[in-house]
Amino acid sequence: MIWNPNKECMSRDEMHALQSRRLQKLVNYVYHNVPFYRNKMQEMDLSPEDIKSIDDIVKLPFTTKQDLRDNYPYGLQAAPPSEIVRVHASSGTTGNPTIVGYTRKDLAVWSEVMARCLTAYGITRNDTFSVSYGYGLFTGGLGAHYGVENLGATVIPTSTGNTEKHIRLIRDLKITGIACTPSYALYLAETLDKMGLTKDDISLRIGAFGAEPWTENMRKEIEERLGLKGYNLYGLSEIMGPGVSHECECQNGSHICEDHFYPEIINPETLEQLPYGTQGELVFTTLTKEGMPVLRYRTKDLCTLMEGTCACGRTAVRMGRIMGRSDDMLIIRGINVFPSQVESVILECNEFEPQYMLIVDRVNNLDTLQVQVELRKDFFSADVGGMLALKKRLADKLKSVLSISADVRLMEPGSIERSQGKSKRVIDNRKL
């Protein structure tokens, strides 16, 4: 099934014409409503009239997460505050989070693209669907929620946490579809096991997994253990949230909702556009967004783009799996974590040297984060109570900044290996 065949199966020529019209309108809109873009374009001696088709996109400036942080909170917002009906936020590197405002029309587009995703996975009005992404500032919960409602299936807003209760709901309400991170899906499988239940006790049939990288092996394991078919769901807050792209029954890459989000692949060093089929950094331009539109947003996600009509009939450009990042962002239990956030917390405390190591692992299918930090000589002591209190203080601070718990290990002075060249601060033992 296809939710919106008019858009999803458009001929390439029609898509090109639509994208060209939308880009021209967007450039005019941001030029007149966002000083940041007007200044950038003026610096480049570029006026909105220079953009005549989507191919002219290469003339436009890029936008980075740093630009969003520098313009915190509402500097890049194009719509007046009276038009903004919702705000989400995504974790920043250090300091300011990224604030994204949505107009009523933005929310309508979002629930449209999410309905496209769910339909492509095979969800219908007859399904009962559990949204197990976090509800709140994170876009996963509410983003998927309104897509399910728009489609007309029954939404169960389970959010995250209390996994046993969740499994009882899956069983008792005969939940057939679920959206969550792939690592949470594995954790669900494990809890199912622990409760003495099997996939035959539940009726899950479709999973929408994303918000973090995952592999074909993880897909097989989740499918096997939960008795469902798992599909990829991709998105990011700065562009919209979940729903930027999705797999279909052919599972040959994820279809990008290209009438709303225009994709490019660039070389992250030279910033040159790369041809389809080459791996590089994914860049998106929001063609229809009103609240906080972005021109050429550098996602830092590395992947390839593919052209060609899919056997499902959709014509949109597809993206391959995310193969890594061009920055050092980690995704731990679905939460974006930058090592620099940990560093800034450590530097705020006199007791520690600026020597630390993050060790990420996956234990019983749940991501774990250990933070090893070196004590300064003057603070290293045999007073166990004092050391425990210090450890707790750091753990609490990290939790409030990162939004996830870390296992803090206080290390003896001089014990963390010093590097000669580029320091290595992260050991990621997860087999992704």
The residues binding ligand DLL (CB under 6 A) are: 90, 133, 139-140, 210-213, 232-237, 241-242, 299, 301, 322, 331, 336
If the CB atoms of residues 37 and 210 are measured against ligand DLL, the closer one turns out to be: 210
SS (H, E, C) 91-132: CCCCCCCEEEEEEHHHHHHHHHHHHHHHHHHCCCCCCEEEEC
If the CB atoms of residues 140 and 351 are measured against ligand DLL, the closer one turns out to be: 140
Q: How far is the CB of 233 from ligand DLL (least distance, A)?
A: 5
If residue 361 lies in a helix (H) or strand (E), which one and from where to where? strand 352-363
If the CB atoms of residues 223 and 353 are measured against ligand DLL, the closer one turns out to be: 223
If the CB atoms of residues 34 and 142 are measured against ligand DLL, the closer one turns out to be: 142
Question: For residues 173, 179, 183 and 188, what is the CA-based torsion angle, rounded to 10 degrees?
Answer: 0
* Cα 268 from chain centre: 19
> Phi, psi at residue 408, to the nearest 5°?
-90, 130
If the CB atoms of residues 226 and 332 are measured against ligand DLL, the closer one turns out to be: 332
If the CB atoms of residues 233 and 398 are measured against ligand DLL, the closer one turns out to be: 233
| Contact assessment for residue 241 and residue 307, using Cβ atoms and an 8 Å cutoff | no
If the CB atoms of residues 48 and 320 are measured against ligand DLL, the closer one turns out to be: 320
Q: How far is the CB of 366 from ligand DLL (least distance, A)?
A: 18
If the CB atoms of residues 20 and 71 are measured against ligand DLL, the closer one turns out to be: 71
| Contact assessment for residue 116 and residue 4, using Cβ atoms and an 8 Å cutoff | yes
**Beta-bridge partners for 129:** 155, 177
Distance CA 194, CA 294 (A): 46
**Beta-bridge partners for 373:** 356, 410
Q: How far is the CB of 406 from ligand DLL (least distance, A)?
A: 19
**Closest to 77 (Cα-Cα) out of 293, 239, 240:** 293
Q: How far is the CB of 181 from ligand DLL (least distance, A)?
A: 7
Q: How far is the CB of 320 from ligand DLL (least distance, A)?
A: 10
Q: How far is CA 175 from CA 122, 131, 153, 158, in A?
A: 14, 11, 11, 11
Q: How far is the CB of 426 from ligand DLL (least distance, A)?
A: 15
| Contact assessment for residue 243 and residue 235, using Cβ atoms and an 8 Å cutoff | yes
Residues whose CB falls within 8 Å of the CB of residue 349, separated by 6 or more in sequence, listed in order = 393, 394, 397
Q: How far is the CB of 325 from ligand DLL (least distance, A)?
A: 6
- The one-letter amino acid code at 67 reads D
Residue matched to tokens 């873009």: 37
If the CB atoms of residues 20 and 98 are measured against ligand DLL, the closer one turns out to be: 98
Q: How far is the CB of 404 from ligand DLL (least distance, A)?
A: 13
Nearest residue to ligand DLL by CB is 210
Q: How far is the CB of 237 from ligand DLL (least distance, A)?
A: 4
- The one-letter amino acid code at 393 reads R
Q: How far is the CB of 332 from ligand DLL (least distance, A)?
A: 11
If the CB atoms of residues 212 and 367 are measured against ligand DLL, the closer one turns out to be: 212
Please count the other Cβ atoms lying within 10 Å of the Cβ belonging to residue 192.
23
